[in-house]
Amino acid sequence: MRPEIESVVEAIRHRYDEELSLCVLADTARLSSFHMARIFRQETGLPPARFLTAVRQEVAKRKLLCTSDRVADISVQVGYSSLGTFTTRFTRSVGVSPGRFRRLAQLGPAAVDFTAGRKDDAPFAYGSFRGRIFRSDGQEDEPVFVAAIPPLTRQERPARCCRMEQGTGTWRIEYVPEGPWHIQAVSRRAGGGKQPIAVGTAGPFYISPGSTVTVDLVLQPPSRVRIFDAERATIGAALPELFAS
Each residue's pLDDT, cut to its tens digit, for the chain (245 residues) gives: 788 888 998 899 899 999 999 999 999 999 999 999 999 888 877 789 888 888 888 889 888 888 899 999 999 999 999 999 999 988 877 767 898 888 766 654 444 443 444 444 444 457 889 999 988 777 777 888 888 887 654 454 556 778 787 777 899 988 787 788 888 888 876 554 455 577 888 888 888 888 899 999 888 876 665 544 444 444 334 444 444 44
Other residues' Cβ atoms within 10 Å of the Cβ of residue 111: 14
Helical (H) or strand (E) element with 213: strand 212-214
Is 181 in the same domain as 222? yes
Is 148 in the same domain as 198? yes
Other residues' Cβ atoms within 10 Å of the Cβ of residue 210: 12
Confidence (pLDDT) at 147? 83
CATH code where residue 177 lies: 2.60.40.1120
Task: Name residue 18's amino acid.
Answer: E
CATH code where residue 89 lies: 1.10.10.60
Is 127 in the same domain as 96? no
Is 119 in the same domain as 239? yes
On whether the CB atoms of residues 221 and 198 are closer than 8 A, the answer is yes
The model's pTM: 0.54
Which of 106, 139, 171 is the endpoint of a domain?
106
* Whole-number CA gyration radius for the chain: 18
Pairwise CA distance, residues 117 & 33, whole Å: 42
Helices (H), 15-125: 22-29, 33-44, 48-66, 71-77, 83-94, 98-107
Helical (H) or strand (E) element with 206: strand 196-207
Confidence (pLDDT) at 87? 93
Is 239 in the same domain as 134? yes
CA neighbor of 130 nearest in space, from 176, 196, 180: 176
Pairwise CA distance, residues 12 & 37, whole Å: 14
Is 92 in the same domain as 118? no
Confidence (pLDDT) at 215? 93
CA neighbor of 61 nearest in space, from 91, 82, 35: 91
Other residues' Cβ atoms within 10 Å of the Cβ of residue 199: 20
Confidence (pLDDT) at 35? 92
On whether the CB atoms of residues 78 and 209 are closer than 8 A, the answer is no
Pairwise CA distance, residues 81 & 68, whole Å: 20
Count of domains observed in the chain: 2
Is 89 in the same domain as 147? no
Is 136 in the same domain as 99? no
Which of 85, 106, 127 is the endpoint of a domain?
106
Is 79 in the same domain as 198? no
Which of 50, 82, 106 is the endpoint of a domain?
106
Is 31 in the same domain as 93? yes
Question: Which residues constitute the domain of residue 167?
Answer: 111-244
Q: What are the C-alpha distances in Å from 215 to residues 136, 160, 212?
A: 18, 15, 10
Confidence (pLDDT) at 76? 96
Pairwise CA distance, residues 219 & 222, whole Å: 9
Pairwise CA distance, residues 182 & 200, whole Å: 11
Is 129 in the same domain as 162? yes
In sequence order, what are the beta bridge partners of 183?
148, 202
Is 146 in the same domain as 50? no
